[in-house]
Every structure is written in structure tokens, then in C-alpha cells.
Structure 1
Amino acid sequence: PTYHLASVVDDHYMDITHVFRGEEWLPSVPRHIQLYKSLGWEPPIYAHLPYILAPDKSKLSKRHGATSVLDYKEKGYIPDAMVNFLSLLGWSLDGETEIISRDQIINHFSIDRVNDSGAVFDIEKLDWMNGHYLRRMDVDKLADCLYQYWSDYPPEELDRIPSIDETKEIVILIQDRIKTLKDAAPFIAFLFKDKIVYTATQLIQKGLDLEDTKNILNQAVSLLNNIDDFWEDNIEESLRTFAKENNIKLGHFLGSIRFAITAQDASPQLFKSIEILGKDLTLFRLDQAIQTLNS
């Protein structure tokens, strides 16, 4: 009883005119209106919103995962995407538009367009929406976001946090490939590891043997060592030209180099990655791979 009284008194003295709350509060409406009348006050306008549901259509709860907005911040979701996503849980602008700015939400929100039934919290849709916002971001803004995120939540995949200038270079590699800020670190971990580890078996690409792989990596060392202006276009031209002139399958050639310097089957753009990694470290890792094959 004291809670209901306190709620009514609190709302009155804060000049609350509209109360929006979950549908579980519907049974309390008569009590609250009666309290307002008893105190001689004008009651606010009440509106009750449907539950947010889990994918199995049960009421969303902690057992379904993160429930605090700070949990989603730690998972790498950005504010604009979260606001957009949450605004569409039970409401819509026109039944079709998915990407909505905050100004649009403020200007067009109407309780008349709120659904009567519960809305499912679809994490896959949130991932898609967050990725959309990340891809639309200015490079410098995304770099600032990513740098701050890594400072707040240092990723275990990285041996050190990249500088802001390094982060700007990284964004070019990954902007089209990530759905959350958390996705970024695994893609570029090889750039900020003191040491990468692999076996000879892992280094040998499908369709190649030991000698093929050693020859490819030795040729890569020679080619890259001869590039004075070590930047993306020159690296790409040198490697592609050699593979074409020597009738080497490009997938085998670049795949072997990629794994030797990244220890990953998939990585961001190879030639830009090599440029960022730098000549000395690239050659060091290729030599390390050759030694692994020789051992």
C-alpha cells in the first residue's frame, strides 16, 4: 500500500502528466486513480505497453541473457542502433521503415501506433541494425568509438591496445565486416600480437605440399624485400604479377602468405594488412613460417 501511495505522490509533485509503463501494472490503475481522487488531484494519462518477449515468446528475463543496457554496451552495440532498435519494439513509423533517426522518433512517436501484443527481442535484427550504423559511420568517428571501446573493455585477443592513429587505419580494413565493436578485435588480432603460433601442417594450404609452400614463402620474402615504397598498391601489384607470370594459382599463393603472417584462414584485405603490419614485421613472420616448415 505504501508503495502505491508513494508512487502517486511522487508523480504528482514531479508534475507528471503521462505515465507509460508495462502491462503488468494494469491491475494497479484503479488504486492509483482512487488515490488521486482522494487527494484531490487530477490523475495523469495512463498508457500500458505490451511485454518485450524472448524468441520463444516468453517474457524476456535474465535467463535469456543480457538485460541491462550496459551489458549491450560491453557487447559492442552503439547508442544510435540501440535507440533505433528499442523504439521499434512494439511501435513502428509506417510499418516498413527500419532505420529511424532519434529526431524522427521524437517527432513521429504516437501511442496510437503501439501494438497491443508483445514484441519479440530479436538479437539477429539488433546485430543487423548495429552493423548498418557502423558501416554508415564516418571513418574518424568509428575510429574514436572503437578506440574508446577498447580502452573501456580491453580485448583479450590483443597484446596491446592500438593507438588512435592505428585504429583509424584498422577501420578501413574492418568497417564492412563487423556487426558490433566487439567483432573488431578477432579480425585484426594478428596486427597487435607479439608472436603468432602455428604448425607446419597448418601452414600448408589445401592443394599444396611442403615444398610448394616453402617456395611460395621464399618468393614472397624476395618480392616484398625488394619493394622500397611499402604500401598497398605496390604490394598488390608485385604479388599478383609474380603469381600470374609464373602460373601460380592466386588463391594458393596469397593464401599461404596470409596464413604465414596472420595465422588466420580469413583476414581483412591482405595487401592493406601487410602495409599496416610493416615491412620488417611482415618479413620476420614469413621467415618464421619458413623456419617452421624446415623444422
Structure 2
Amino acid sequence: MEEIRTRLAPSPTGLLHVGNARAGIFNFLFAKKSGGKFILRIEDTDIERSKPEYEEDAKAAMRWLGLNWDEFYRQSDRKEIYSHHIKKLLENGSAYVSDVIRFKNPGRIVKFYDIIRGNIETDTKDLGDFVIAKDEKTPLYHLAAVIDDFEMKISHIIRGEDHISNTPRQILIQEALRCPTPKYAHLPLILGSDRSKLSKRHGAEALSEYKKLGYLPEAMFNFLALLGWHPEDDREIFTKEELIEQFSLERVQKGGAIFDKRKLDWISREYIKKLDGKDFIEKLKPFIPEEWRNKNLSGAARLFQDRISKLSDFTTEAKFIFELGDYDPALLIWKNASREDTKKRLEKAFELIFSSGDVMAYAKKEGMGEVLWPLRVSLSGLKNSPGPIEIMEVLGKEESLKRIRHAISKL
């Protein structure tokens, strides 16, 4: 039985984006389901634009996602291999030298079967004799990809649909080199919310940006796996192992996949909720100021763990726990309540909290909004925040009274 071997082949000419990452995930899942191999190949034939820092970014992004590769190759290390195959094409008459090396296009119809899209055929005569190398040691994209796929025994090429137009050229080169043709599966484009091709204007596109924002890698893996593939049921939360078990190319859609940030946030929130409390705090630490670490961090973490979609949200959402900002005294006043009544109710709440009395009983008698709104604002300084009782549990009695006293002074 044929060994399943797939590859992700990014060019190090920019940061690894979500389209590459999604392709990597699909290749990884397909290979691992079959007990096969997943290969990372850096396609750096564009010498002028390729940079080592982009290669490192691609590796770091893949490690972050948990896309561990079984084999690694870099095209710039393989010049002798390419040279051998270029000479072979020149010798058998499939290529010739002009100012560069061109492939002698037979100009025929090329047919291939796409696992996702079915039969595809292209008339190649309009392509002319296309350039495949600058010289005998410098192949261009199409030739290098074909040689590498052959040498690395790639069984399935799973890539974006924008590569469909590249496939006929590559099949012609495969035939000229007498290489077997791998099986193809072209994935749907990733679209923005307006159904145009995903770009930076739709938000962060580089995978590293999502890491910086504090999305959990497990959540990002889960979300990207659902971009164009769907399971047999309506489940949306999967472990990597469950995705490996359920994945199949037959359940990949043809139409574009919408990058829905709200769905990403929902999935990420579900993963954050499931974290162990100590683990959550450890993951928060890179996102918070150093001085927060010894001030109510565990209490604030408990308060906000179910309320945030990414770790960086904690910095803004929980800031008031660690430092109360200035706020307009008018924010303390509930709807049509007077300034005077608001002050009296805060003073009464202060007395009850100081003497460990029942603030909720007082609020039920006086009016929940009339009592709890100014109390909550006095503790948080915000229009929107968790409830006052929850906040006081985190702040403690002394800090809570200090903030209420400050609010009273503002009225």
C-alpha cells in the first residue's frame, strides 16, 4: 500500500498567513489519519525576496499550532539535485536554452482528477514555451516543485485553489521527467466577511498576529480545521486527535470558506473556559504588566476566565481591578435617579459593607438598579463590568470601601 506523504511548501517572502496555516493543517490531518508523513519544505528559489526571518516565522508559527513535521527540506540546499534534472530535460529535448531555460510545451489538453473538484482539463497551447529555470542550477517555481515532489515521494498535493492554474504546467514537466503524477486536492479560498478574498483589511492575516493577540493555539487549530471542512455532525469543538480521526478530503467544500472572526472568538472562549485555573494564570503572564502579578491576579483571573475570547482581552477588561481609572461622576447615576439620592444610597452601601451587612437585601428594598449600578461603577469606574458583589470578592473589603468613599466624594 502506498505511503501517504503530504507537504506544506511556504515561500519565505513574508510572514506565514492563515491560508498557509489552514493548508498545513489539512495536509497534516490527512497524513496523520493514514499513518503517513507530513513534510515541511521551504521554497526559497526567489533569492531576492526570500529572507531567513520569514523561514523562522513559518517554523515558529507551525510549532505554535502543533504542526510537527516529519521531514524538513530547503530548496536552496538542493541545487545539485535540480541541476541533474535540468540537464535531463535538456538532453531529452523537453527543454532548451534561449536567454533562460524554457520548457518545450507540446501544447496539448491536460486532464487530471481533483479529489475535491472532480475532473479538470486545460488546453495548454496558450501557455507557450514557459520558463522553468534561469540556468542549470537555478530552477524557477514550477520545475523545483515538480522535482521536489518527485524526490520526496509526495503522494498527495493539497493546496489552495489559486494553484489549479499551476497544475497543468507541472503535469507536463512530470511527464517530461517521467515522474508519477501525485493526487491533487485544491482547497477553497478563504474569504473575508464580505466574501472577497481574505486580506489584511479583514484583520490580522499573519498567523503570528493571532499568537500576539493571545488566541490559544489549540483554538486556532480547531477554527482553521473548520475553514472549508465540516464533520458529519454539527460539532464545532475538536481536539487535534479527534480531528485526525474524523478528517477526510471528501468532506471539504468547493465554495469559499468564510473567515468568521466571531466564530474564532467563540471557539477561543470555549478553550479558555476549559483551562485549569493555574494554567490560565501562567498563560496570562506574558500579556500583563509585571506589577499586576502580585496584586489580586488569581481573583481577577477567576472573575474573567469565562468572559474573554483571547488572553490580551484580560489586560483591558481586568485593568480596573489593578488600577481604578478616572471617570465622570455622572456615570454613577442610575437612569432618572438624582445626584443626592445616589450619594445617600452609596453612603448606605458603604455602611452595610463596613459592618458586613446585607447589601443585596437593601438593594431589593430600595431598587436593584438604584443601589447596584452606582455601587458597581464606584468599584470599576466603567459603564460595563462584572457585578459589584463579584468585584468586591476580588478587591477585598478594604479596597472596596476605599473606592466607594472616593465615589461618594465625587458626588
Into which bin does the TM-score normalised by the smaller protein fall? Answer: 0.7 to 0.9
Q: Distance in 1 between matches of 2:238 and 2:180?
A: 35
Task: Say whether residues 1:101 and 2:236 are aligned partners.
Answer: no
Partner of 2:313: 183
Task: Say whether residues 1:39 and 2:159 are aligned partners.
Answer: no
Partner of 2:188: 50
Secondary structure of the 2:235 match is coil
Task: Say whether residues 1:266 and 2:384 are aligned partners.
Answer: yes
**346, 349, 352: which one pairs with 1:220?**
349
Partner of 1:168: 298
Rate the CA distance shift 1:117–1:198 in 2: closer, same or farther, 3 A: closer
* Structure 1 runs not aligned, ≥5 long: 155-159, 228-236
Rate the CA distance shift 1:199–1:56 in 2: closer, same or farther, 3 A: closer
Q: Any idea what the Cα deviations from partners look like across 1:85-142, whole Å, max 9, x if unmatched?
A: 1111111111522222211111221111111222111222222222222223333332
**373, 396, 403: which one pairs with 1:278?**
396
**Contact between 2:332 and 2:373, CA under 8 Å: does it hold in 1?**
no
Q: Distance in 1 between matches of 2:283 and 2:171?
A: 46
Secondary structure of the 1:162 match is helix
Secondary structure of the 2:308 match is coil
**Contact between 1:16 and 1:44, CA under 8 Å: does it hold in 2?**
yes
Partner of 1:78: 216
Partner of 2:147: 9
**Contact between 1:173 and 1:269, CA under 8 Å: does it hold in 2?**
no
Shift of 1:181: 2.5
Q: Any idea what the Cα deviations from partners look like across 1:224-268, whole Å, max 9, x if unmatched?
A: 2234xxxxxxxxx62123445xx3113211211111121113322
Give 1:11's aligned amino acid.
Answer: D
**357, 365, 373: which one pairs with 1:255?**
373
Q: Would you tell me which structure has more helix in proportion to its own residues?
A: 1
Higher mean C-alpha deviation, range 249-258 or range 132-141? 132-141
Give 2:406's aligned amino acid.
Answer: Q
Secondary structure of the 2:158 match is strand
**Contact between 1:191 and 1:277, CA under 8 Å: does it hold in 2?**
yes
Q: Distance in 2 between matches of 1:93 and 1:24?
A: 24
Rate the CA distance shift 1:22–1:61 in 2: closer, same or farther, 3 A: same
Partner of 1:157: none
Trace 1:114-193 onto structure 2 (pairs within 5 A): 114-148=252-286, 150-151=287-288, 162-163=292-293, 166-193=296-323
Q: Distance in 1 between matches of 2:166 and 2:258?
A: 25
Partner of 1:234: none
Higher mean C-alpha deviation, range 105-114 or range 199-208? 199-208
**238, 263, 272: which one pairs with 2:358?**
238
**Contact between 1:147 and 1:167, CA under 8 Å: does it hold in 2?**
no
Rate the CA distance shift 1:258–1:109 in 2: closer, same or farther, 3 A: same
- Greater Rg, structure 1 or structure 2? 2
TM-score, scaled to structure 1: 0.82
Between the aligned residues of both structures, percent identity stands at: 38
Rate the CA distance shift 1:125–1:199 in 2: closer, same or farther, 3 A: closer
Partner of 2:335: 206
Give 1:261's aligned amino acid.
Answer: L
Partner of 2:92: none
* Structure 2 runs not aligned, ≥5 long: 1-131, 133-139
Partner of 1:231: none
**Contact between 2:272 and 2:280, CA under 8 Å: does it hold in 1?**
yes
**Contact between 2:159 and 2:186, CA under 8 Å: does it hold in 1?**
yes
Q: Distance in 2 between matches of 1:174 and 1:266?
A: 13
Task: Say whether residues 1:289 and 2:407 are aligned partners.
Answer: yes
Q: Distance in 2 between matches of 1:119 and 1:242?
A: 53
Shift of 1:29: 1.7
Partner of 1:90: 228
Higher mean C-alpha deviation, range 205-214 or range 79-88? 205-214
Give 1:190's aligned amino acid.
Answer: F
**Count of matched residue pairs:** 273
Higher mean C-alpha deviation, range 115-124 or range 176-185? 176-185
Shift of 1:20: 0.9
Q: Distance in 2 between matches of 1:60 and 1:25?
A: 16
